[in-house]
């Protein structure tokens, strides 16, 4: 009766073996695994097969890979509610994690057609773009690009953009978040995004696009958030919106 159908493939055995090590805490989150070459010797096989096992574990979010640096045990996912527009720093610290923000660039650009549509702008409008890289407990997990209307936030690019934009909006411009809208797309990382997230070109990522409105229902800005897919779990509760609204009205 208790015929445990052994997963026959070699890659599956490697996977099980590594998972046991992780589950038993012998391999702690963030710790580097032995190199693909070492693992292939250890399991008496080739790099190809080891890689296959690692890719499947990566898809599940058990391990992650940093380009040419190695494979690591994945920490627990950050729980994230894109509707809940509180300062990101707060979300992170509430979960007892540590956040680090790097401003990669901030400039004024001509909006792409997609952007014009998202921000309800006429074609060839200029927008401010702020690109920031976020690290969770020292690990790069998110590349966020914010796009804002220049006339709405004059001179914002002169401020320190490594702090919370939410706070900056409110304190410097008296703008507060109201409702918002978001979209989630599982997609692949290319070019700058892949580089910044230390991913190989074509790796699967999660793209979260938010459009945010102020207390008067006017569009404030939008974000394109490129997440390492193993680093996040999206959670949305329709009841939480009640609380949010209460806060906004205060």
Partner DNA sequence: TTGCTCCTTTGGTCTAGTCCAGATTTGAAC
Partner DNA sequence: GTTCAAATCTGGACTAGACCAAAGGAGCAA
Indicate whether 229 belongs to the interface with a copy of itself (CB under 8 A): yes
Indicate whether 108 belongs to the interface with DNA (CB under 7 A): no
Q: What six digits make up the tokens of 111?
A: 């909006």
Indicate whether 60 belongs to the interface with a copy of itself (CB under 8 A): yes
Q: Which of 16, 17, 35, 172 binds DNA (CB under 7 A)?
A: 35
Binding mask 146-185 for DNA (x = CB under 7 A): ----------------------------------------
User: DSSP string spanning 156-187?
Assistant: GGGS-TTS-HHHHHHHHH---EEEEEEEEEEE
Q: Is 223 in contact with 144 (CB distance < 8 Å)? A: yes
Indicate whether 201 belongs to the interface with a copy of itself (CB under 8 A): yes
Minimum CB separation of residue 132 from DNA in Å reads 19
What element of type H or E holds 196?
helix 191-196
Q: Could you give the angle at which helices 47-60 and 10-23 cross, rounded to 10 degrees? A: 50
Indicate whether 56 belongs to the interface with a copy of itself (CB under 8 A): yes
Indicate whether 10 belongs to the interface with DNA (CB under 7 A): yes
Q: Which stretch binds a copy of itself (CB under 8 A): 103-111, 123-131, 160-168, 233-241?
A: 233-241
Binding mask 40-69 for DNA (x = CB under 7 A): ----xxxxxx-xx------------x-xxx
Q: What six digits make up the tokens of 247?
A: 């806060």
| 37 touches, from a copy of itself, DNA, none (C-beta below 5 to 8 Å by class) | DNA
**Exposure string over 173-208, b if 16+ CB within 10 A, otherwise e:** eebebbbbebeeeeeebeeebbebbbbeeebebbbb
Residue 79 CB neighbour total at 10 angstroms: 12
The torsion angles phi and psi of 216, rounded to 5 degrees, stand at -100, 5
Q: Which stretch binds DNA (CB under 7 A): 10-18, 84-92, 173-181, 185-193?
A: 10-18
3-state SS, residue 240: helix
Q: Which of 36, 118, 129, 221 binds DNA (CB under 7 A)?
A: 36
| 180 touches, from DNA, a copy of itself, none (C-beta below 5 to 8 Å by class) | a copy of itself
CA dihedral 135, 136, 139, 140 (to 10 degrees): -40
User: Rg for the chain (alpha carbons), in Å?
Assistant: 21
Indicate whether 182 belongs to the interface with a copy of itself (CB under 8 A): yes
- Per CB under 7 A, residues contacting DNA are 8-12, 33-38, 44-49, 51-52, 65, 67-71, 200-201
- Per CB under 8 A, residues contacting a copy of itself are 9, 12, 15, 55-57, 59-61, 77, 82-83, 179-188, 201-204, 206, 229-230, 233-239, 241, 244
């Amino acid at each position: 009766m208790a015929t445990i159908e052994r997963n026959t493939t070699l890659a599956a055995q490697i996977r099980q073996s590594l998972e046991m090590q992780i589950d038993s805490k012998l391999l702690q989150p963030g710790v580097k695994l032995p190199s693909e070459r070492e693992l292939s010797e250890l399991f008496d096989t080739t790099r190809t097969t080891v890689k296959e096992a690692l890719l499947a574990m990566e898809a599940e979010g058990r391990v992650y890979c940093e380009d040419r640096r190695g494979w690591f045990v994945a920490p627990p996912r950050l729980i994230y509610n894109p509707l809940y527009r509180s300062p990101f720093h707060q979300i992170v610290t509430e979960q007892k994690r540590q956040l680090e923000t790097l401003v990669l660039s901030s400039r004024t650009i001509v909006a792409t057609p997609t952007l014009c549509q998202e921000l309800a702008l006429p074609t060839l409008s200029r927008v401010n773009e702020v690109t920031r890289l976020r690290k969770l407990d020292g690990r790069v997990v998110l590349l966020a690009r914010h796009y804002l209307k220049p006339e709405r936030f004059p001179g914002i690019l002169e401020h320190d953009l490594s702090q919370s934009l939410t706070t900056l909006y409110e304190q410097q411009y008296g703008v507060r978040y109201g409702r918002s809208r978001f979209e989630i797309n599982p997609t692949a990382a290319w070019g700058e995004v892949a580089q910044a997230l230390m991913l190989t070109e074509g790796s699967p990522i999660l793209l979260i696009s938010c459009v945010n409105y102020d207390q008067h229902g006017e569009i404030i800005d939008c974000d394109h958030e490129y997440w390492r897919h193993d680093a996040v779990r999206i959670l949305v509760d329709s009841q939480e919106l009640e609380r949010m609204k209460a806060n906004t009205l205060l």
